Amino acid sequence: MISTFLVAFLLPLTGSGPEDRPPKKGWDSARFVKPADAELRARLSAIQYDVTQHEGTEPAFRNEYWDNHKPGLYVDVVSGEPLFSSLDKYDSGTGWPSFTRPLEPGNIKTKTDRRLFAARTEVRSAHADSHLGHVFDDGPQPTGLRYCMNSAALRFIPVDRLEAEGYGKYVPLFEKNKSGAK
């Protein structure tokens, strides 16, 4: 109990909270350590915390990215691990951002979710273990999958910010798409 008090109330006073750290650029799985719960509560909005840490779901059609059509990457809001590309995003009509496949399959994991009295496949980030959403087999080709994600679990990085934010290795994906190739 005392250690929880120390983390939640005294840590911010020591100058070692998230706001005192330089922003992390890009994604490096070797460097990532999931922040303590108190830090996540301080850093994330209430909906981001509920979705990522307690398998919450945000409202359909009232979330940040369901209708985003800009080119770029979607990364885990907790870790920054790259998850999805706008090149694989489509309008599923559900009111949540939907993708046909993950950008980096090693950055997601799935498990069976039986919370709504039916088996669904939950999608989580591999390194931060954030709840992202669910995957269904009713998506378009080429995969036939619909990765239905919560915007609150994601952070969008537009193409023109990829290099500056440490995700420059993904820029060529979008350059190929401009020329008509994939």
CA distances from 109 to 5, 100, 132, 164 (A): 33, 15, 10, 28
Residue 146's Cα: distance from chain center in Å? 15
Angle (CA) 108 145 97, round 5°: 70
Fill in the amino acid letter for 74.
Y
**According to the model, what pLDDT value does residue 18 have?**
38
pLDDT digits (tens, 9 = 90+) for 92-147: 999 999 999 999 999 999 998 777 667 889 999 999 999 999 999 999 999 999 99
Residue with tokens 């800009």: 70
Per-residue pLDDT tens over the stretch 39-88: 999 999 999 999 999 999 999 999 999 999 999 999 999 999 999 999 99
Predicted confidence at residue 179, as pLDDT, reads: 57
Where do the domains of the chain lie, and which CATH numbers do they carry? Answer: 2-9+35-178 (2.170.150.20)
Residue positions annotated with a catalytic role: 148
First to last CA, the chain: 53
